[in-house]
Amino acid sequence: MNVKDSFTRMSQAHDEERAARVKAHTSELEHLARRKTRLQALRNRLNDLFNEDDPRKRGTALEGVLNDLFATEGILIRESFTLRSEEGHPVEQIDGALEVDGSAYLVEIKWRGEPVEINAMSRHLVRVYGRSEVRALFISASGFTGPAIEESERALNQRVIVLGELRELVLLLEQQGDVAAWLREKVRFAQLERRPLALLGSDF
């Protein structure tokens, strides 16, 4: 009787372990399916923006798409916000902030007809310098001028500066890539190779 009970308990334990594995596998498949659906919806929203002629509406909508992309991937974010003086006057307009691996990034997003120039880059770097240990992420839909890139390279002596192009994120969405892994790799290029703008492919 004891032997029979032992086999029964072993069989039950085996069945429970198998059921737990099946449940975990099913949960993972459901998670991946939900992620795929969300990324496809974000890709569609992003594609629609290329038909928007109003630069202000397009820029604001792009902020929303990117914030939702980061949120989908579980990256801590704070959406666009304005810092005001004690009198209530706007002091700084921040496109957003995010946190990856314990590091905070101040985000700037531009969708203009021309590449981002040094003045816009310098303004963003000043915001970053005013915050201890904060890193910079600057995303442009139209690239960056040479002087803007050079200014970012000089700033690497003090902070981690990452420049990204919208086409990189378009590719990530098309191939269901991992935006956190993309950012980590860009940080590696910035830190080790002093390349704030390293255009990455689709291996994420």
Q: Give 10-residue mean pLDDT values along the chain (204 residues).
A: 65 75 70 84 92 87 90 84 74 84 93 92 94 94 96 96 94 89 95 92 59
Write down the pLDDT at residue 116.
95
**CA nearest neighbour of 192 among 160, 165, 169, 145:** 160
Question: pTM to 2 decimals?
Answer: 0.78
Confidence (pLDDT) at 100: 93
Rounded to the nearest 10 degrees, the angle between the axes of helix 118-129 and helix 146-155 is 20
State the Cα torsion 47-51-53-54 to the nearest 10°. -40
Give the CA distances from residue 17 to residues 7, 12, 13, 82, 153, in Å, rounded to whole numbers and listed in that order.
15, 9, 6, 52, 53
Residue 191's pLDDT is what? 96
